[in-house]
């Protein structure tokens, strides 16, 4: 292997690691958003207990949709950690 190939391999692996770290940070947003949604739903149920079923079902649907962004970030991070380095190394060889 030439010196250039070692350098290119290091840069590719560093890029994958940094990208995976940034992608996994995406899990923070859904956690905060879902916490706020549950908080407001509990406030609404506390003020009007008779609307518990409607508020709960709407809150659960919103939390499920918000969770997809965290799952996309997690899957992207896993792909960058386990799949992308192998693909980049095939191009360098």
pLDDT tens digits, residue range 54-67? 999 999 998 998 88
Residue 93 pLDDT exceeds 80: no
Read off the pTM: 0.74
**pLDDT tens track for 3-54:** 888 888 889 899 999 999 998 888 888 889 899 999 999 999 999 999 999 9
**69 has pLDDT over 90:** no
- Alpha carbon distances (Å) from 34 to 8, 22, 38: 41, 20, 6
CB of 92 within 8 A of CB of 5?
A: yes
């Amino acid at each position: 292997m030439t010196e250039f190939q070692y350098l290119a391999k290091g840069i590719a692996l560093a890029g994958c690691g940094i990208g995976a770290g940034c992608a996994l940070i995406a899990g923070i947003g859904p956690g905060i958003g879902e916490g706020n949604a549950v908080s407001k739903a509990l406030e609404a149920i506390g003020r009007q207990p008779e609307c518990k079923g409607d508020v709960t079902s709407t809150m659960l649907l919103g939390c499920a949709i918000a969770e997809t962004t965290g799952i996309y970030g997690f899957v992207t991070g896993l792909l960058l950690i386990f799949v992308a380095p192998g693909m980049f190394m095939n191009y360098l060889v």
